[in-house]
A and B are shown apart, each in its own frame.
Chain A
Amino acid sequence: MIENIKERLKDKIKEIKIHNERRVYLTIDRKDLKDVVNIIFNELGARYQIVTGIENFDKFELLYHFSFDKQGLIISLRTFLDKENPEIESLTSIIPGISYIEREVWELLGINFIGHPNLKHFLLREDWPENLYPLRKGVKKDGRK
């Protein structure tokens, strides 16, 4: 399966990290994300699991986890976003169920999803202050800076 994915994605893969035969991490450019997800989700038939958003020192990192259940394989697509003005294309047109986690990543980490039809607060209350993102590293546990 890994060989198959390598062949389909070819030079779209910038880096491949094989943790073990069941956990594989692929680094891709954020511009290629939609094409890659289209191939993995629609053509190869992977199951969408979830999106993890991470704040690093210099960049934001998004991990899109997909599972190939027959092989017991989890593929994680890794993309990096700039610290200033982080934004990426929304995948709601390909995977309808991804809408809620994109809203969550947006409100907790402040990553903008371009083309999301309904990008408003999901877990936080509607009058939550703007530009205060509780999952960022500088923010305390009670949500204050």
Chain B
Amino acid sequence: MVENRKVIVPIGPYHPLLEEPEYFQLYCDGEEVVDAEWIAGYNHRGIEKLSESKHYDQVTFLVERICGICSTSHPIAYCNSIEDLCGIEIPERAKYIRSIIGELERLHSHLLWVGLAGHFLGYNTVFMWAWKYREPILDMFEMITGNRNHYAMLRIGGVRRDIEDEDVPILKKTLSEIKDKVKMLTEAVLDDPVLSARLKGVGILTKDDIKNYGAVGPVARASGVDIDVRRDDPYAAYNLVEWKVITTENGDVFDKAVVRLLECFESIKIIEQCLDAIYGKKGEIWKEVREIIEGEGIGHHEAPRGEVFHYVRSDGNTTSPVRHKIRAPSYVNIPTFKASCIGETISDVCIILAGVDPCYCCTERIAVYDKDKNKKVYDFDQLIKKSIEKTEKIKKELGKEGKLWKHLL
């Protein structure tokens, strides 16, 4: 560590950049950052320990609570690990539905990041655009699963809900509209001279840095490291459809944005092919799993931020895992700040830290309080009723007029 430390500039634990508590200490000499430290654990919920006391079926929904943005990526990785443990092959229709949910999630997560990145740079037009075009994707989620986040779609051996044939044309129409909008956004972002000036050559990560810190996902692919779990260790329907892995060479924050924006189009391509594959067909969506045998299983999934890793060990006698290890992508992506932030200026460090897309939770449902009487206006059942009504409304609006954009245009 640096002796005779210079000025310490704190970022966090509560900071607009990090909407979840996390603490970075920057040691600065003038404007230049000479060293940095990361302190975490403000929000540690002990989910690995909790998992050891839950039933295997409950764990699927427990791990969904790890992240609000990429909430389906942990259940997918967990189900992969159990299916690896028991050697289960899931029905084909379930594979396609898993891929659809996974890719819709990538789409909304990448748009969310692009918006936030624009916001951190003081470019709020990008923020407004990206979040506006993200909203219909959440509506599509609500239409398919009944929820905007925490979709609760997965179970060990398949998925819980089917996608109805009558919904498919509406989903495809909405997707094609989103594609045009994302194309406009991509062109605007990539051609913008201000964004180029702020992002090009900033926070460069080399291939060696990626290897040393084990970074994954768009962070690795922006530095020319060609890894993607969806292609390398195929699961769900990723080996049944045509798509390609996006990589760029420079490793700066601009390239990370390019990778994420171009991946949106690949995701749309995957979803369209999956929807075509299930349209007009019937089939099983899950396979009953009666027993979790003794052994150990590893499952991983390419979440929007990179590889999610789950390890599960079962003793064959009890209904809970003996050990459940979870590694989220930010755990290996954030430590790259040691390589990317040192030597940069304070103002650039903010966007470099945000460049790895550190993960935070956005899932608080509403609670309406009466200030004078100091009690809740709606109770749990009323809230559930209201949210079901809203889902029905979205289905009806999308179904009849098929014009998701009418309130946006």
Contact = CB atoms under 8 A, between A and B. Distances in A.
Contacts of A121: 41
B331 to A, nearest CB: 7
Given A72-B233, A100-B331, A134 B338 contact: no
B335 A97 contact: yes
Given A22-B233, A69-B232, A72-B233, A52 B84 contact: no
A52 B325 contact: yes
B46 interface: yes
Interface in B157-196: none
Contacts, number: 81
Interface residues of A, number: 33
Contact of B335 (A19, A76, A100): A100
B214 A48 contact: yes
Between A22, A52, A100, A122, the greatest number of chain B beta carbons within 10 A of the residue's beta carbon is seen for A52
Contacts of B48: 135
Contacts of B211: 47
Contacts of B307: 49
Interface string B290-317: 0000011110100000010101010000
B87 interface: yes
B309 A50 contact: yes
A104 to B, nearest CB: 9
A76 B323 CA distance: 15
B298 A23 contact: yes
Given A65-B311, A122-B41, A134-B46, A49 B232 contact: no
12 contacts: A20-B87, A47-B211, A47-B214, A49-B307, A50-B325, A65-B309, A65-B311, A96-B213, A96-B335, A97-B212, A123-B40, A124-B44
A144 interface: no
Contacts of B40: 122-123
Interface string A27-44: 000000000000000000
Given A19-B296, A50-B309, A52-B323, 19 more contacts: A19-B295, A19-B297, A25-B296, A49-B307, A49-B327, A50-B332, A52-B311, A63-B325, A65-B311, A69-B232, A72-B234, A96-B213, A96-B335, A122-B39, A122-B40, A123-B41, A135-B48, A141-B46, A141-B49
